[in-house]
Amino acid sequence: MEYQFYTNHVEETFKLGQKLGQLLYPGCLLTLEGELGAGKTMLTKGIGAGMGVSSIINSPTFTILKQYVGRIPLYHFDAYRLEDSEEDLGFEEMFDGDGVCVIEWPAFIEYMLPTQRLMIKIKKIDDCKREWTLIPIGQKYELLCKELSK
């Protein structure tokens, strides 16, 4: 089953992320797909807020991975610059670890990602409007989506 959400403004995206962040727990992994400027990092800012991260979350593009401390750790990945890279980056230990993983541009590291995840696809409707399609893969993510829809 897919779950659809719409946001009409940055703040609404932040709030959606925040609500989602409140529901997350160690071992959760989310992938964010959508064009440049779709709102992947903006949603992650909200997720961080929902997880109790107090520092500012910025795009990790140039560092690939940024780690934040909230209620539990938040690992924010941006694989955009890893295109065609096959080196062992040691990410796997974080994917089923002590925190939450949020991955922008997952296609570039698909080969190392676990199958079970919450896939989030973002469509830019116009400058301010976004369509969010959540596709839970695995029962724990199904439950998460049901909670989020309440």
Residues 89-118 that bind ligand ATP (CB under 6 A): 104
User: Rule CB under 6 A: is residue 38 a binding residue for ligand ATP?
Assistant: yes
CB of 61 to Mg ion, least distance (A): 7
Of Mg ion, ligand ATP, none, which one sits near residue 1, judging by CB under 5 to 8 A according to partner kind? none
Half-sphere exposure of 14 (CA within 13 A, CB side): 7
SS3 (DSSP) at 34: coil
Rounded to whole angstroms, the Cα distance separating 86 from 16 reads 34
Of Mg ion, ligand ATP, none, which one sits near residue 31, judging by CB under 5 to 8 A according to partner kind? none
DSSP string over 40-87:
HHHHHHHHHHHTT--SPP---TTTSEEEEESSSEEEEEEGGGGTT--S
Neighbouring residues of 38: CB distance < 8 A, sequence distance ≥ 6: 122, 123, 124, 130
Task: Report the residue number, 104 or 113, with the smaller CB distance to Mg ion.
Answer: 104
Of ligand ATP, Mg ion, none, which one sits near residue 34, judging by CB under 5 to 8 A according to partner kind? ligand ATP
- Radius of gyration, CA atoms only, the chain: 14
User: Rule CB under 6 A: is residue 42 a binding residue for ligand ATP?
Assistant: yes
CB of 18 to ligand ATP, least distance (A): 13
Rounded to whole angstroms, the Cα distance separating 78 from 7 reads 22
Site mask, Mg ion, residues 34-73, x = CB under 5 A? ------xx-----------------x--------------
Interface with ligand ATP (CB under 6 A): 7, 9-10, 12-13, 34, 36-42, 59, 104, 128, 130
Interface residues with Mg ion (CB under 5 A)? 40-41, 59, 104
